[in-house]
Amino acid sequence: MTSSAAATSLSSHGSARPIVEMTAHELLALQERGELTAVAIAEAFLTAAQQLEVHLRSFLWLDAEEVLRQAQAVDLRRRSGQPLGPLAGIPVAIKDVLCTKGIRTTCASRILANFVPPYDAHVIERLKAADAILFGKTNMDEFAMGSSTENSAFQQTRNPWDLQRIPGGSSGGSAAAVAGCQAPVALGTDTGGSIRQPAALCGIVGLKPTYGRVSRYGLIAYASSLDQIGPMAHDVTDCALLLQVIAGHDPRDSTSAPLPVPDYRGRLNEPVRPLRIGVPREFFDKGLDAEVESLVQQALRQYEKLGAKLIEVSLPHAPYALAAYYIVAPAEASSNLARYDGMHYGHRTRHKADLIGTYAKSRGEGFGKEVQRRIMIGTYVLSSGYKDAYYRKALKVRRLIKQDFDQAFEQCDVIMGPTSPTPAFRIGEKINDPLAMYLSDVYTVSCNLAGLPGLSIPCGFTREGLPVGLQLLGPPFSEETLLRIARMYEAVTDWHTRRPKLPVPPSPVTS
Amino acid sequence: MSLSREEVLKVARLARLELAEAEVAAFQAQLSAILDYVAQLQQLDTVAVEELAHPLPLTNVFRPDEERPSLSVEEALQNAPQRLGDYFAVPAILGSDEGPVSH
């Protein structure tokens, strides 16, 4: 490796900025103008990723040679005048829940510690076709179950804004990698807030698309009626770029929506006017941190200055969303994770036992505590005698939650509120109290239950310097409008341009 | 509500999970607290409400029944915990307390 993380590039107005602090759209423009090569970009991010990894522990796997090989191929094609895809030369960090052919995919679980997928997820095929650079696999809560990335079987990812704090979860590795400038953009997945909550806690933009917008083929399942893959980036434009590449119908996922994909970037800078913002009183309830509330209120006032009209809306069943979620998601998980039986792939116990005993020992050894907890809850609520009282009841409440949103969107174009009730908490603070941890998802789960698109954008910092996120929820398949509304705020604020100051060790650390 | 030790062990059996002794007690307390929390749904009257299993109005998604390439035997077996030639080796199911077949 020749260049260092301090590699800079002169922008059009002459000021030098580190390559690693740039957005994907800036890096694309510099390559198109011939001012930067894909290899220079890859080298800058590899150096930063390796140097900062000692602090952040964002990556479960990163192969510098493989990254450089991809970057050289892009440069070669550019030099020979061949057409290139829309993400040419852009490093994209991948949450380790997405299958990558020939590259270990673990879900941060011991049960998949040695699993090498024989195929690529749909979104990975799309990234490759777009000439993006696959830039490592990121840490996460095991099987995407958690809100702090503390449930990884392998390592603790830290928040780039305060290394004593969690990055959020479950896509905590992807969020920390982008916020810490180890990669310009990343893919995450969101079942109950796992893109939006870590994006908020790390001060970046995260989008959970409408259920069905992005194919789940090759996404290792947690809760199939809630899971969605989405982009995590420094700004709204990069989210639009990435969504453009991964969205669209795929017959291999029968829940993938057969709908055309709009041009997300085309009218991105056109403000939405008139704009009616629904503000649900249920999202400003007790349990909301006072500083978070104040920053979210300031963001709403900013929208008013931009000409938006604030409308009080009611989501009367929103307070029940978390309870419904913690029945539906574990129920689906207990069914989905039944496949890990130690027979065809994954961990098999070394202890001798009969068939059932081999299943039980393999699963007992391979799954971490939180995954076991959710499998247990899911099994209980689906078991004979309890299914009606818990699971079917939760599905009925799910409909009430969706109806609340349908009614609210008759009066407004977007619903806004906090993404997370608190800023990032300390590592270890909630690990022994599962219910307290679940409450981190109180504002994000209703969006998954209703299948809506949801976006978190940075809207300020607490006095301690911790980022806070504003959540935007839209009607199904309204991503184009949602991104435009988010861009209106971004265009008049500079939160998205802030980067954390991280201590760089004296010599590069190789892992 | 409070889950008994026997109930936790029964659910673990259904879930095919072997729990360490310390986990049984921890799960008893934690699962009880979580079930107490989710029990708040009982406050809602849902008699006239239809279940919603899935948020998209998609039904009966079909595809043409055509032959397509699938994984090769090698690819399918590449992650096998134990293989025997072109097969997955598994513990004996009937009439043996031995481990995986070895003949």
Q: List Cβ neighbours of A304 (8 Å cut-off, separation of 6 or more).
A: A310
Task: Residue count of chain B, please give it.
Answer: 103
Enter the DSSP assignment of A234: S
Sign of CA dihedral A343, A349, A351, A355: negative
Specify whether A170 is catalytic: yes
Closest-CA distance of chain A to residue B69, Å: 12
Interface of B with A in 7-46 (CB under 8 A): 8, 11-20, 23, 27, 30-31, 33-35, 37-42, 44, 46
Instruction: Give Cα separations from A325 to A171, A395, A442 (angstroms).
Output: 18, 9, 10
Q: Where are the domains of chain A?
A: 16-317+402-497
Select which of A58, A148, A194, A456 is catalytic.
A194
Site from B7, B27, B34 to mutate, A interface, most A CB atoms within 10 angstroms:
B34
Sign of CA dihedral A73, A79, A81, A83: positive
Whether residues B41 and A393 touch (CB distance < 8 A) is answered with yes
Whether residues B33 and A383 touch (CB distance < 8 A) is answered with no
The string of DSSP letters for A366-398 reads HS-HHHHHHHHHHHHHHSTTTTIIIIIHHHHHH
Interface of A with B in 229-288 (CB under 8 A): 251, 254-255, 257
Alpha-carbon distance of A287 to A422, in angstroms, equals: 8
The string of DSSP letters for chain B reads ----HHHHHHHHHHTT-PPPHHHHHHHHHHHHHHHHHHGGGGGS--TTPPP-S-SS----------------HHHHHTT-SSEETTEE--B--SS--SSB---
Alpha-carbon distance of A49 to A13, in angstroms, equals: 28
Amino acid present at A363: R
Tokens 């796992």 belong to residue: A194
Instruction: Give Cα separations from A257 to A211, A251, A260, A377, A451 (angstroms).
Output: 8, 9, 9, 31, 12
Rg (CA), chain B: 23
CB-CB neighbors (< 8 A) of B15 in chain A: 334, 363, 375-376, 378-379
Specify whether A387 is catalytic: no
Q: Identify the CATH number of the domain defined by range A16-317+402-497.
A: 3.90.1300.10
pLDDT per residue as tens digits for the range B80-96: 999 999 999 998 877 65
The answer to whether residue A394 neighbours chain B at the CB level (below 8 Å) is yes
Per-residue pLDDT tens digits of chain A, which is 511 residues long: 334 445 776 554 455 789 999 999 999 999 999 999 999 999 999 999 999 999 999 999 999 999 999 999 999 999 999 999 999 999 999 999 999 999 999 999 999 999 999 999 999 999 999 999 999 999 999 999 999 999 999 999 999 999 999 999 999 999 999 999 999 999 999 999 999 999 999 999 999 999 999 999 999 999 999 999 999 999 999 999 999 999 999 999 999 999 999 999 999 999 999 999 999 999 998 889 999 999 999 999 999 999 999 999 999 999 999 999 999 999 999 999 999 999 999 999 999 888 899 999 999 999 999 999 999 999 999 999 999 999 999 999 999 999 999 999 999 999 999 999 999 999 999 998 888 899 999 999 999 999 999 999 999 999 999 999 999 999 999 999 999 999 999 999 999 999 999 987 654 444 4
Whether residues A255 and B31 touch (CB distance < 8 A) is answered with no
CB-CB neighbors (< 8 A) of B49 in chain A: 396-397, 399-400
Burial of A97 (0-12, 13-18, 19+ CB in 10 A): buried
Select which of A109, A147, A152, A170 is catalytic.
A170
The domains of chain B, with CATH numbers, are 5-43 (1.10.20)
**Strands A228-233, A309-313: pairing kind:** unpaired
Cα angle B80, B83, B89; round to 5:
95
Whether residues B71 and A118 touch (CB distance < 8 A) is answered with yes
Alpha-carbon distance of A1 to A64, in angstroms, equals: 9
The answer to whether residue A324 neighbours chain B at the CB level (below 8 Å) is yes
Closest in A119, A212, A355 to B93, CB measured? A355
Neighbours of A505 (CB within 10 A): 12
Closest in A212, A348, A377 to B81, CB measured? A348
Tokens 């609210």 belong to residue: A408
Task: Residue count of chain A, please give it.
Answer: 511
- Three-state DSSP at A3 gives coil
**Strands A185-190, A91-95: pairing kind:** parallel
Sign of CA dihedral A158, A98, A229, A24: positive
Closest-CA distance of chain A to residue B103, Å: 17
Neighbours of A148 (CB within 10 A): 30
